[in-house]
Amino acid sequence: MNTAPEYTKRERITLFITYFSIGLPVLALFKYWFLPRMETFGEAAHCYDFGWFNGVQLMFYGVFVGIPLSLAIMLLVLEGKRLILVYKHKQTPPPGYKVFKPTEYTYGNKALFQPVLFSIVCVSLLVLSMHGIGSAKEITDSPRTITLVTNKASLPECNGL
């Protein structure tokens, strides 16, 4: 049986410390800085004007287009290279990659399951993002949203901004 090389205990600890030291500050920044600001922004998004677009457009295009698109990009950045190698060599795990637990190599079409599934997920996220353009446009062009944005000067929540 041909098994892939495993990480040593030292390499596992190093990887854990590295990812933990990156992930914890990002999580804290997201939870304690970004989310409170987005909550505050969401309550008065109609009050903001950024020139070519307003706060409502920024919020809805960000949710319906930005989130699926950024998730697809993040997946491509994190897993794209490895899955391209799997597709190229028709072998999983790809040559030169280590694993955490004993893993036998898989060859041929059976190894292509992960790259094909990954491609389906990324294309689905891109389609969802493109569909989000229409959904966000429909919401931001609704009469209620237009009325809210055009009458922002008379609204009490917009006076302090």
Distances in Å between the Cα of 131 and the Cα atoms of 12, 30, 74, 141, 146 are 41, 27, 19, 16, 21
Residue-wise pLDDT for 109-159, tens only, equals 999 999 999 999 999 999 999 999 999 999 999 888 888 888 777 777 777
Q: Is the distance from CB of 119 to CB of 86 less than 8 angstroms?
A: no
Is 4 part of any domain? no
Residue 102: partners with Cβ closer than 8 Å, 6 or more residues away: 3, 6
Is residue 2 in some structural domain? no
Domain for residue 81, yes or no? yes
Domain contains 3: no
Q: Which domain holds residue 29?
A: 9-158
Residues of the chain with pLDDT > 90: what percent?
63
Average of per-residue pLDDT across 9-34: 96
Residues 41-74: tens digit of each pLDDT: 888 888 888 888 888 899 999 999 999 999 999 9
**What's the chain's average pLDDT?**
90
As for how many domains the chain has, the answer is 1
In a domain, 15, yes or no: yes
Residue 28 has pLDDT above 70, yes or no: yes
Q: What is the pLDDT of residue 12?
A: 95
Q: Establish if 124 belongs to a structural domain.
A: yes
Task: Assess whether pLDDT exceeds 70 at residue 19.
Answer: yes
> What pLDDT shows up at residue 61?
94
Asked whether residue 72 is domain-assigned, the answer is yes
What's the pTM? 0.82
- Assess whether pLDDT exceeds 70 at residue 161: no
